[in-house]
Each structure stands twice: as structure tokens, then as C-alpha cells.
A and B are shown apart, each in its own frame.
Chain A
Amino acid sequence: MLLIKCPYCGQRPETEFKCGGEAHIARPEDPSALNDEAWADFLYTRSSIKGVLAERWMHSHGCQRWFNALRNTHSDAFLITYEMGKPRPAVDENGELK
């Protein structure tokens, strides 16, 4: 089980959290202007990379607030958790925080 540091409540077990999938995917400003390909891309295409992935988590059995996290999908180790709206922290080529 993962230990996840909620930016508001601190370190808690994974069972208190809900993973909301990849972060920083913005809903298109004008969906009706998109063609089918771009819309499918927004809905379904995810990076699913083996390495550092930015994802959304919700502390559902705690403060019930959403936040973002950087996690290495190879080792499952969290690099950092950060509040919604903040930019994605930079990571170097070794997968470490800059």
C-alpha cells in the first residue's frame, strides 16, 4: 500500500485516497470547435508512461480535496504532492526533482 502525503493533512495510507488519473489535461475551451480526432485525444489518450507521471489524487476519506502528485510509475515512489492550480514541478532526466 502506498503512503501518500496529502498537502493539507499529511502522510496517510492509500486506502484513504482516490486516484483521478493523469493531471494537467485541460478540457478544451471550445469543445464544439474540435474535430473527432482531437476530441478522442482529449477523452481517451493518456501518456501512461513508465517514469515520472503527474496525476490527480483526492483525499476522499479525509479532507476531500483534490491535489496533484508526481509519481514514478516504475518504482511507485512519490516525488512530490502539490496543490491544484500550481504548475508541474520540473524533473531532470534521471527522474529526480530539479
Chain B
Amino acid sequence: MIRMEDAIVQKFSLPALLKESLGAHLGWGRQWGSADLKSSYDAVIVGGGGHGLATAYYMAKEHGIRKIAVIERGWLGGGNSGRNTTIVRSNYLYDESAAIFEHSLKLWEGLSQELNYNVMFSQRGVLMLAHNEHDRQSFKRHVYANRLNGIDNEWLTPEEAKQFCPQLDLSPGKRYPVVGAALQRRAGTARHDAVNWGFARAASALGVDIIQNCEVLGLERDAFGAVCGLNTTRGKVATTKVGVSVAGHTPQLMSLFGVKVPLESQPLQALVSEPLKPAFPTVVMSNAVHAYISQSDKGELVIGAGTDQYVSYSQQGGLHIPIHTLDAICELFPIFTRVKMMRSWGGITDNTVDRSPIQGVTPIPGLYINCGWGTGGFKATPGSGHLFAHCVAKGEPHPISRPFSLDRFRTGRLIDEAAAAAVAH
């Protein structure tokens, strides 16, 4: 185990803050080093988003692998890590999903201390609204399933839901009446950029090389077919372990390596409003009308919309998708009807048919894959990285991620969260 104190990076603490305040805060150094690609590494992680950086960090910290490179085609956190709605929760129906997302939520709870970086994890609760009898039955089933798995989730009556989130409109005659809600109190939000920066800083402190603007051109394989190197726009690099963590571009990259993946990449849109004073205490999701909303620490309302119906890499989508979501938001929360929207964008999500992720080995020895997190990968960032680090370091998946193998599409052991949630998540 390597301690943060051993790192070159300056540790954040009260004495450090006092010391730097005397120098008008001009003395803070760079948070992570910029490295050149060396000629060989023990392992290379492709993709410098939250999952990739977390993988590199946990490999260095828990598995003692020091010569690691994270290579990123664009810039750190410039993909889906910077394009999500920052919601963290673990109230999934099936045992396998509950285990993997709860593993992640537990890591979130200590992440700021672990990384010595404030990721602004705020356990403000996630309230999932039920609008009809079907929702009520389905959510209660979720609540009981979660409790059997040791995950907090509770059923609230409409009045209790309004007490928790006073902005809810319970007046009669509403188009989407609230007949109850499921509340996970330990769920909440985190600051997405801080998560990337925190992992980059902590990984860099442990000697991980972070290389941006470096695109993978191909895989080098030895006489036995195993991975022996990577071709990149910054030259060749020798390595026997390659971990791929590139979200929406997984089909493209894996086709370059000659591996078929059961994924389709689609845009998922989100939008933020102008900044407001604190006006919304929690995260509210409504599966039936497909809307979710929270307020960031900056004051913007962060609103998640749905996926477009077609494959696209354009990082934008049709305007009718967010409009549909805003219709529902205005109906559920009349106080927001006059709020102006400031920005909207799309992220490219890699969706599996069962809407569960893929993590583990591939048909090529030494090539490991972490993908298919689709529309819900942000909440999994530390957990996914932690488990994938085990997979890349040991050459076999961690027991928690074993059910999420690429092989499950052949064996038919799908983990059908798509049907369980009846909505993109």
C-alpha cells in the first residue's frame, strides 16, 4: 500500500491552506504531472475518463503496479465524465447490479478522504416518484429487494414525499399524480470534474503517467496472439496488459482490435438552467415520464433527458427529447416553469441490450474491457475502477464483476436491468 504522504503532489490540509493563504494562494503547484509516453509499461489504460483514471489509481495503490500509463485521445474527463448529471445511487433491483453499484456507493462515501480531494459528494437522497399503480408495485418490489441486499431504500407516502421535497405539487387533477415515492437517503450527487481531477491527481502522485492527446491506432500481438504492445499517435509502446475504458467509443476501438462487442452507441442528452439560489433539496427522478432533476452547488438545475433512438457519435441529439423532459419537469414542479435553460449537450453512451455493464476478459489474452455502462456510468466511477483494477492486475475478473462478463451474451445469463427499470438510467 502506498500512502498519499509519500507522493510528490502537495497534500491538501488546514496547515497547507493557512500557509498558502499567506502567499495569496499563488504557491499551489500543478495537481498532476504531464508525462511523455515511455517505450514500455506494465499496463496501459486506454481512456482518461473517471473509470480509466480510477482504474489506474487503484492498480497503483492496491495492486502495487507502478509503471502504468493512462492514454486519452482528447483531454481528461472530456467525454461522458464531463457530460453526465452527477447522480450517485445504488437502488438497483437485481442482486448482481445491487452488489456492483453498492460497492461503488461505499467507495464514494469515503472518496474525498481517500483522494485528499473534495469530490463534493453530497448524500442529499434520490427520490423516485411513482405515478400509478404499476409504479407503486414495481418500486415497492425494488425497496424490498434492496433491503434484502442491505441497501437503504424506503417507501414514502405522497405526504411524506412532499415533506422531504416540498417543491412537489400534490394538487388534485395533475397530469402526473404522485401516488408515492421510493427514497434512497444515502444516494446523492458529486461534482463530476472533481472526481476526474481527484483521481488524476492521486494516480499521478503514485507515479501513473497521464498522457492526453494520444490516440490508439492499433494493437500489437505476439506469436501466441496475446497483447504485446500498442500503436499510438505518439509512437509504439510495449505492454502486456491493456485495459479499455472508453465508453461510447468502445465499438469503434474494439473493431480496430478485431473484437466484436454487443453494444450500440447512442446520444443521451442533459441540460442545465441559469444558476438559482438554493431551491431544490434533493434529486428527483421520474421513470414514467423520463425526467430527473437536481440542483448543483453552483445553483444550476441539472436535468437529465432521454436517449435518442438511433446510433450516433455526434454528441448532440434531437431537440424534441429535452423538450419532452422539460414538459414533464414543468408539470411536476410548476415553480420552475419560468426558469431559463442555459446549456444542453449530449454524451455518447454505449448501451448493451440488458442495460448492464460489461467488465472482464476478452478473447485476446492481455486485453481487458470495461464498457457498456450506458446511461448510468458516473455513479459507478470508483467501484468500476476498483474492480477493473483487480481484473487488469490479476488477469481475471473480481467476484463482484464476474456476472458482467462479455461471455454472458453467449451463455444467455443476461442481467436485465433494462426491464427492471423500464427506463434508461
Q: Do A and B come from one complex?
A: yes
List residues of A whose CB falls within 8 A of some B CB.
1-2, 14-15, 18-19, 21-22, 36-37, 40-41, 43-50, 53, 55, 71, 73-76
List residues of B whose CB falls within 8 A of some A CB.
249, 251-252, 255, 260-265, 309-314, 318-320, 352-353, 409-412
Cβ-defined contact, B255 with A47, below 8 A: yes
Q: In the assembly, what is the distance between CA of A42 and CA of B195, in Å?
A: 38
User: Which residue on B lies nearest to A21, using beta carbons?
Assistant: B264
Residues of B within 8 A of A45 (CB): 260-262
Cβ-defined contact, A37 with B410, below 8 A: yes
Q: In the assembly, what is the distance between CA of A30 and CA of B411, in Å?
A: 19
Cβ-defined contact, A46 with B263, below 8 A: yes
Cβ-defined contact, A48 with B311, below 8 A: yes
Given A48-B251, A48-B263, A50-B252: A73 touches B311 (CB 8 Å cut-off):
yes
Residues of A within 8 A of B410 (CB): 36-37, 40
Residues of A within 8 A of B311 (CB): 22, 46, 48, 53, 55, 73
Residues of B within 8 A of A36 (CB): 410-412
Query: Nearest-CB distance from B8 to chain A (Å)?
Result: 39
7 intermolecular pairs with C-beta atoms under 8 Å apart: A1-B320, A40-B410, A43-B409, A46-B311, A48-B263, A50-B313, A53-B311
- Tell me which of A21, A40, A49, A76 contacts B251 (CB under 8 A): A49
Residues of B within 8 A of A19 (CB): 309-310
Q: In the assembly, what is the distance between CA of A55 and CA of B252, in Å?
A: 17
Cβ-defined contact, B313 with A73, below 8 A: yes
Cβ-defined contact, B320 with A40, below 8 A: no
Residues of A within 8 A of B260 (CB): 41, 45
User: Which residue on A lies nearest to B263, using beta carbons?
Assistant: A48
Cβ-defined contact, A55 with B310, below 8 A: yes
Query: Nearest-CB distance from B306 to chain A (Å)?
Result: 13
Cβ-defined contact, B264 with A14, below 8 A: no
Cβ-defined contact, B313 with A44, below 8 A: no
Query: Nearest-CB distance from A51 to chain B (Å)?
Result: 9
Query: Nearest-CB distance from B46 to chain A (Å)?
Result: 16
Q: In the assembly, what is the distance between CA of A46 and CA of B352, in Å?
A: 10
User: Which residue on B lies nearest to A14, using beta carbons?
Assistant: B318
Q: In the assembly, what is the distance between CA of A44 and CA of B412, in Å?
A: 11
Residues of A within 8 A of B314 (CB): 73-76
Q: A1-B319, A46-B264 are in contact. List 14 more A-B contacts (CB 8 A).
A: A14-B318, A36-B411, A40-B262, A40-B410, A43-B353, A44-B352, A46-B263, A46-B311, A49-B251, A49-B252, A50-B313, A73-B310, A74-B314, A75-B314
Query: Nearest-CB distance from B137 to chain A (Å)?
Result: 28
Q: In the assembly, what is the distance between CA of A46 and CA of B318, in Å?
A: 23
Cβ-defined contact, A74 with B313, below 8 A: yes
Residues of A within 8 A of B412 (CB): 36, 40
Cβ-defined contact, B312 with A73, below 8 A: yes
Cβ-defined contact, B319 with A47, below 8 A: no
Residues of A within 8 A of B251 (CB): 46-49
Query: Nearest-CB distance from A50 to chain B (Å)?
Result: 5
Q: In the assembly, what is the distance between CA of A48 and CA of B246, in Å?
A: 14
Residues of B within 8 A of A71 (CB): 310
Q: In the assembly, what is the distance between CA of A46 and CA of B261, in Å?
A: 8
Residues of B within 8 A of A15 (CB): 320
Q: In the assembly, what is the distance between CA of A19 and CA of B318, in Å?
A: 13
Q: In the assembly, what is the distance between CA of A20 and CA of B262, in Å?
A: 16
Query: Nearest-CB distance from A38 to chain B (Å)?
Result: 10
Q: In the assembly, what is the distance between CA of A74 and CA of B265, in Å?
A: 11
User: Which residue on A lies nearest to B350, using beta carbons?
Assistant: A48
- Tell me which of B265, B318, B409 contacts A48 (CB under 8 A): B265
Q: In the assembly, what is the distance between CA of A46 and CA of B263, in Å?
A: 7
Residues of B within 8 A of A53 (CB): 311
Residues of A within 8 A of B264 (CB): 21, 46, 48
Residues of A within 8 A of B252 (CB): 48-50
Cβ-defined contact, A46 with B320, below 8 A: no
Query: Nearest-CB distance from A48 to chain B (Å)?
Result: 4
Q: In the assembly, what is the distance between CA of A19 and CA of B311, in Å?
A: 9
